[in-house]
């Protein structure tokens, strides 16, 4: 089913290496991976396999040393930092293990921040009521309707991750990249967050790339991609 939909992200022979002192560390060594619209993909692998590096490359946060990352069929490596930032803002949502909420902002403001970043002062001012309503709705959807004006320090771990999910989804992205989203949560809270993510994914027919160590979580995805030593060693179509 997923193969019938157009690709959102495509990594073509992607290499990534870092220089540490005189040594050159090859983190990714020719990765080929396609994520189609509405598809959920789990990226599994041991620590150091290159999962997070691949996620950052696919999220246009970094550029490959060699190879190409395409977004909706468009090559991105030769595009400016500003253009790639715009693509991230409008089409890619991120969820991280450590939430990365801005501690000075309330839950509502954290969710609105991405919206504010994408528009001019005038543009934001014109659309502020709509944006606020959408952010409230999104927070209500993730179960934080009563916690709109709480700061991250006043939220539990699960609530913070829900807030991060709401933030990632507000701009209605084509794909959400989640880097071990339950890695910092207890099992019960993690189950709730996972349930929420998949239900929203189904509602919106979003593409999801989940970096995880959790085999059971991976089994809920459409496809499982296994990595080892910087290469994809196996791709398993689950459903």
Partner 1 sequence: MYRLSLAVRYLLTRPVNLLGVGGILISVWALVVVVSLFSGFLRVLEEHVRSATSDVVVSDVPEWTEWNTLQAALADDPNVAAAAPRLLHYGMLIPPGRRPAPAPLPGKSALHGGDQPFLFVYGVDAALEATATDMQQWLDSPEIPEDLRAADTATPLAAISETPAVLIGLERMLREGLTVGDPLRLTTARMVRSEDGRSRPVKIEIDLRVGGAFRTEHGGFDGNNVFVDIGTLRAALSPDRPGSVQEVAVRVHDKQQLEETAQRLSRVVNRVTEQNGRAFGRVETWRERNEQFLANVSHQRGLMKIVLIVIMVVAAFLMLATLSMMVTEKTSDIGILTAMGGTPIGVTTVFLACGVVITVAGVSLGLVTGVLTAVYLEEIRQAMLWSTGVDLFPLDVYNLQRVPCRIEPAWLLQVTVMALLTGALASVIPALRAARHDPLVSLRGI
Tell me the window of 3-11, 83-91, 201-209, 226-234 that interacts with partner 1 (CB under 8 A).
Answer: 83-91
The answer to whether residue 167 forms part of the interface with partner 1 (CB under 8 A) is yes
Residues binding partner 1: what is the number (CB under 8 A)?
Answer: 34
Q: H-type helices in 29-174, by residue range? A: 51-58, 81-91, 107-117, 121-126, 128-141, 157-169
The answer to whether residue 94 forms part of the interface with partner 1 (CB under 8 A) is yes
Q: Name which position in 5, 15, 62, 77 contacts partner 1 (CB under 8 A).
A: 62
The answer to whether residue 118 forms part of the interface with partner 1 (CB under 8 A) is yes
Check the CA dihedral 31-227-175-123 and report its sign: negative
Q: Are 106 and 151 in contact (CB under 8 A)?
A: yes
Chain positions 95 to 114 lying near partner 1, rule: CB under 8 A, are: 96-98, 100-105, 109, 113-114
State the Cα–Cα distance between residues 110 and 127, nearest whole angstrom: 17
Binding mask 189-228 for partner 1 (x = CB under 8 A): ----------------------------------------
The answer to whether residue 90 forms part of the interface with partner 1 (CB under 8 A) is yes
- End-to-end C-alpha distance for the chain, whole angstroms: 9
Q: Are 201 and 208 in contact (CB under 8 A)?
A: yes
SS3 call for 183: coil
Binding site for partner 1 (CB under 8 A): 52, 56, 59, 61-62, 81-82, 85-86, 88-90, 94, 96-98, 100-105, 109, 113-114, 116-121, 124, 167, 179
């Amino acid at each position: 089913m997923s193969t019938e939909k157009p690709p959102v992200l495509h990594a073509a022979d992607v290499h990534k290496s870092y220089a540490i002192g005189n040594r050159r560390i090859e983190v990714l060594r020719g990765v080929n991976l396609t994520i189609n619209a509405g598809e959920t993909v789990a990226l599994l692998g041991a620590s150091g396999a290159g999962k997070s590096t691949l996620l950052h490359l696919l999220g246009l946060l970094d550029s490959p040393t060699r190879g190409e990352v395409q977004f909706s069929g468009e090559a991105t490596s030769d595009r400016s930092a500003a253009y790639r930032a715009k693509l991230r803002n409008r089409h890619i949502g991120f969820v991280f293990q450590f939430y990365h909420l801005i501690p000075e902002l309330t839950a509502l403001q954290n969710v609105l921040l991405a919206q504010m970043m994408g528009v001019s002062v005038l543009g934001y001012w014109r659309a502020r009521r709509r944006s606020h309503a959408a952010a409230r709705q999104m927070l209500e959807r993730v179960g934080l309707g009563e916690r709109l004006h709480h700061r991250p320090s006043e939220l539990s771990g699960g609530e913070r991750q829900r807030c991060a999910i709401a933030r990632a989804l507000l701009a209605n992205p084509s794909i959400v990249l989640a880097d071990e989203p339950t890695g910092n949560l207890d099992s019960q809270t993690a189950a709730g967050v996972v349930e929420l993510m998949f239900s929203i994914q189904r509602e919106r027919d979003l593409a999801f790339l989940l970096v995880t160590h959790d085999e059971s979580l991976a089994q809920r995805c459409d496809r499982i991609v296994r990595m080892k030593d910087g290469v994809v060693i196996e791709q398993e179509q689950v459903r």
